[in-house]
Amino acid sequence: MNEFFSTHGMDLLIKTGEHLYISAAAIILGILVAIPLGIILTRIPTYADRLISFIGILQTIPSLAILAFFIPLLGVGKFPAIIALFFYSVLPILRNTYTGVQGVNKNVLEAGKGMGMNTRESIFKIELPLALPVIMAGIRLATVYLIGWATLAAFIGGGGLGDFIFDGMNLYQPSLIIAGTVPATILALLADRMISSIERKLTPEGLKDTYQTT
C-alpha cells in the first residue's frame, strides 16, 4: 500500500481533481439547462411528455457510444467528455423539476396571484421553493450517476480516475483498477451526503417533515 502511494500518490490526487472537475462541470450545465426548461414545460404540458420521453430515449444510448459520437465533432479531451456527461444529467433534473413544479398546490398559486404576484415572483417565491425537495432529489441522482460515468472520460482522453481503471485493465494490474474505482465510489457517496445536507437547509421549514431525505 505504501509503495503504491509513493509511486502513484500524486497522480491519484491529480486524477481525483480532474474527475471532480468533469463531474461538477457536467452537473452544473445540467442544472442551468434542465431547471429552466422544466419550468417552461409546466407552461406547455402538451409538449412536456413528448420532450421528456425523447430525452429518455436518447439516454438509452450507451455512454461509450455518446462519447465516441462527440469525437469527430469536438475532438478529444475534457470538453467533449463534459458535454457528453451533460446529456446524461439533463433527464433526472428535468423530469423532477417538471414533476415538482406541477405538483405545487394550485390553491397556493391562486393565493399568490391574489397577493399581486406576477409570473416571475410566483416561480421564485412559491413554485421553486415548494418544488425544491423534488428538484434536489433529481440533482442528487444525476450527480451520483455522473461521478460514476465520469470514469469513461478516460476513453476520449478526458482524464479523471478512469485513467487508473483503463491502465489497470490494459496492464493487468488490479491495484490500479481499485485506485480508480474506490475514490470514485467515495466521491459519489460524499456528493450524495453533501447535496442531501444542502437540500435540508434550503427546504422550507413546513416541508421538512413531508420530504424527509436520507
- pLDDT 10s digits, 34-46: 999 999 999 888 8
- Average pLDDT of every residue of the chain: 86
CA contacts within 13 A on the Cβ side of 100: 30
pLDDT band at 182 (very low <50, low <70, confident <90, very high): very high
- pLDDT 10s digits, 23-34: 999 999 999 999
Whether residue 48 is predicted with pLDDT greater than 80 in this model: the reply is: yes
Give the CA angle between residues 139, 143, 148 to the nearest 5°.
Answer: 155
User: And the C-alpha cell for 36?
Assistant: 429552466
Q: How far apart are CA 70 and CA 41, in angstroms?
A: 28
Better-predicted residue by pLDDT, 139 or 74: 139
Q: What is the mean pLDDT of residues 192-214?
A: 69
Q: How far apart are CA 143 and CA 20, in angstroms?
A: 11
Q: Find, among 141, 187, 147, the residue nearest to 22 by Cα.
A: 147
- pLDDT 10s digits, 4-18: 667 777 888 999 999
Q: Write down the architecture of domain 2-205 according to CATH.
A: Orthogonal Bundle (1.10)
Q: Find, among 90, 96, 97, 98, the residue nearest to 27 by Cα.
A: 90
pLDDT band at 155 (very low <50, low <70, confident <90, very high): confident
User: And the C-alpha cell for 163?
Assistant: 485513467
